[in-house]
Structure 1
Amino acid sequence: MMCPMHLLTIEDQVKEIETGQILSILTDYDGALEDIPEWCLKTGNEFIGIFEDDDHYKFFIKKIKES
């Protein structure tokens, strides 16, 4: 089951950037590995990729359409 709180935060942040801009998200939540790419598919934004470190993940999302 997805915990939607981080997705609501991402949705708010995506609304603040222009179409074509890239949002980076830093988290240590393991569930984000599935949640964020799935959110991108559902919302029509582009999941660019992820950087994994020992204690956190950094996700990159490109805003494709207006929210």
Structure 2
Amino acid sequence: MAADQVLDCSGLNCPLPVLRTKKAVDAMTSGQVLQMISTDPGSQNDITAWCKRTNNTLLGATAEGGKFIFSIKKS
């Protein structure tokens, strides 16, 4: 699924990737997809927990070359 928006949080540490993800998702409409890129290993657990807490859907999460890429669908 193609992302409607890409958010690059590379170089940012907790809690900034989650805070910026929240801000980006809040500005989107229901059904849109955000691709978030992070270099913070903690974001793997943080984004998964945030999606569950906010009822947004984590479509996928991959790790490659020190980057963590998340696809999040706004509920």
Please say if 1:8 is aligned against 2:19.
Answer: yes
State the TM-score, normalized to the length of structure 2: 0.76
Shift of the alpha carbon at 1:44? 0.9
Q: 1 or 2, which has the higher helix percentage?
A: 1
Contact 2:17 2:38 in 1 (8 A): no
Q: 1 or 2, which has the higher strand percentage?
A: 2
C-alpha deviations, 1:12-49, integer Å up to 9, x for none? Answer: 00012110011000111000110001000001101111
Query: Runs ≥4 in structure 1, deviation > 3 angstroms?
Result: none
Q: Which residue pairs with 1:39 in the alignment?
A: 50
Give the Cα separation in 2 of the matches to 1:19 and 1:10.
Answer: 15
Q: Which residue pairs with 2:3 in the alignment?
A: none
> Where do 1:1-67 residues align within 5 Å?
3-64=14-75
Instruction: Give the number of aligned pairs.
Output: 62
Structure 1's unaligned 5+ residue stretches are none
What CA RMSD, in Å, does the superposition of the two structures yield over aligned residues? 1.0
Structure 2's unaligned 5+ residue stretches are 1-13
**Whose relative contact order is higher, 1 or 2, with alpha carbons under 8 Å and at least 6 apart?**
1
